[in-house]
Amino acid sequence: MTARVLIIAGSDSGGGAGIQADIKTVTMLGGHAMTAITAITAQNTLGVEGVHAIPTEMVVQQMRCVAEDIGVDAVKIGMLGSADTAMAVAEELISGVYGESFAFDPVMVATSGAMLADPKTVDAMELLANLSTVVTPNWPELAALRGCAAITADTVEAEAVAYAQKVEAAVLAKGGHGGGETVIDRLVTGHGTIALWEAPRIDTRSTHGTGCTLASAIATGLAQGMPLEPAVARARDFVRLALLDAPGLGQGHGPMGQQLVRNDGLFTGPALNQITLPAKDYAASVAFYKQMGLTQIVDSADNGYARFEAINGVTLSIHLSPSRLREGLGEGVSSTSSNRTSPPPTPPASGRGEEGPVTYLESGALDAWVAYLARRGVQFEQMPADEEWGWREARLSDPAGNRLCLYQAGEYRRYPPWRA
């Protein structure tokens, strides 16, 4: 059954954040999005020009209307706009018809656009947090919830744990406001950190809606029955891919590219999204697949390897067989590759002694999938292992001898560090 996600948040006329980002995220992750809109805004990438608050009674009526008919598997709570609406939403959620999976993004912004950190709002936020599975504050929001001047790298864990203890819910302290080249997101409970993710900061101005997207993605995972930690991990992958896929619209902080995150192995089941074919002439094969309309995204001519992306996000690679490289028969192979930020390692399939095609099936839960297959008698030539090109891979052959690779790559399939 399709996971049903109720989104309680404000509308963004520019489509970058709020309800619009939430709907795109839930839809791309396979859920059904329902909404209770708390405010209508006139805004674009440069800022907010006007706000019209929805009466609290109408917010609650929207919630109750969809819950009574369609049902709810998880709730994402975003901008509420006032302490009164926050309190009313919390009281409605207590009724029990909304399930028990709530992802709360504590957006402490009033309908006027001002930051809300008054005691009444903080109390309302605390009540909602008490009901939630996970609360997802950034550093300024965590500081407001904790009543401290600021959050730093030295204090973030202690403050997040203290807040988790207070509200008896998990807290995902988002690290985007931390500065530096590495973003650290920390998932904690009242007992301490249970998971920590580090990733390079993505250099883009199209960051509008990251918090909304993350919380909606987590809510969708919870609605689909995922445990919290894997739901957060997948949500982070989705956010990073949406940042990398951002279309660059507007003159300010533009929208992300949720609509372009597809075929990226974000689900537990296998996604057929990559095949590697042998080549005899590197330059000729590259030219052929470009002519076919594919976009070249990896140019590793010195390794005899190139990767291409189709318009639906599926990738195809070509590589010179090891024998062709050894014999020097790969016409068009040069010692350098163009437009790389860093030299790639030997790419997938190249240098493994493989001469034929390899089909790649991706899963967002590779180890669990392989363990499931192994328990049922599937024989593997290689169990899951981290490879130097950033993928985690397991290898096997089908009954006819065709080579298969089961793998997990996240953003590294379409956006490796050496992407052309």
Q: State the catalytic residue, choosing from 210, 220, 276, 315.
A: 210
Distance CA 231, CA 246 (A): 22
Residue 209 appears among annotated catalytic residues: yes
Distance CA 359, CA 382 (A): 15
Cα–Cα distances in angstroms (integers) from residue 133 to residues 78, 81, 106, 202, 313, in the given order: 14, 21, 13, 28, 33
Q: How many CB atoms lie within 10 A of CB 128?
A: 22
Q: State the catalytic residue, choosing from 209, 265, 304, 330.
A: 209
Phi, psi (deg, nearest 5) at residue 232: -65, -45
Q: State the catalytic residue, choosing from 41, 212, 220, 254.
A: 212
Among 286, 273, 269, smallest CA distance to 241 is for 273
Distance CA 56, CA 88 (A): 7
Q: At what angle do helices 156-167 and 119-131 cross, to 10 degrees?
A: 70
Residue 210 appears among annotated catalytic residues: yes
Residue 417 corresponds to which amino acid? P
Among 203, 245, 217, 257, smallest CA distance to 364 is for 217
3-state helix, strand, coil in the chain (%, to 5): 35, 25, 40
Is residue 242 helix, strand or coil?
A: helix
Hunting for tokens 């790639």 — which residue is that?
344
Residue 85 appears among annotated catalytic residues: no
Residue 193 appears among annotated catalytic residues: no
Would you say 120 and 108 are in contact if contact means Cβ atoms under 8 Å apart?
Answer: no
Residue 66 corresponds to which amino acid? V
Q: State the catalytic residue, choosing from 81, 211, 221, 257.
A: 211
Phi, psi (deg, nearest 5) at residue 405: -125, 120
Q: State the catalytic residue, choosing from 207, 213, 220, 315.
A: 207
Bridge-partner residues for 8, per DSSP? 36, 77
Q: State the catalytic residue, choosing from 99, 121, 174, 405.
A: 174
Residue 25 appears among annotated catalytic residues: no
Q: What contacts 58, CB < 8 A, 6 or more positions away?
A: none
Residue 120 appears among annotated catalytic residues: no
Structure tokens at 275: 């095949």
Which residues are identified as catalytic? 174, 207, 209-212
